[in-house]
Amino acid sequence: MAMVKCHAIQAKSSNKWSLTGAEVEEQIQQDLAKKLIPLLVYCTVGTTPSAIVDHLESIGPIAKKFVYIYSHDANSFDCIVEAMGSRGDGGEQ
C-alpha cells in the first residue's frame, strides 16, 4: 500500500514469548545497516490467546531513539504512542 516493508521479530521462549528492547534494538540496527528506515514497533499488552505482555519498559527507551510504538492492549484499548508520549510500563519513556 505505502511500499512499507514489514517484518516480525520472533519472540523467544527464553523471554516467555515477550519481545524485549534488546531484540528490537538488534533488529533496528540490522535494518539501518540495510539502509532501511525503521518507523514503528508494534507491541502487545496482553495478547488475547495467551495474555503475553511485551517488555515495554525495555522497548520504550529504544523506541525513543528511533521510532514510534504502537501498543495494542487486548483489553480493547488501542493507543498509538509517540516515543515521547505517556502510556505507562515503558511507553512513557
Query: Contact, 43 vs 60, CB < 8 A?
Result: no
The residue ranges of every structural domain in the chain are 17-81
pTM value is 0.69
What is the spatial distance between Cα 48 and Cα 40, in angstroms, rounded to a whole number?
21
Q: How many other CB atoms are found less than 10 A from the CB of residue 53?
A: 19
Of these ranges, 12-16, 43-47, 68-72, the one predicted with the greatest mean pLDDT is 12-16
pLDDT-based confidence at 72, cuts 50/70/90? Answer: low
Residue for grid cell 519513556: 93
Amino acid in the structure at residue 62: I
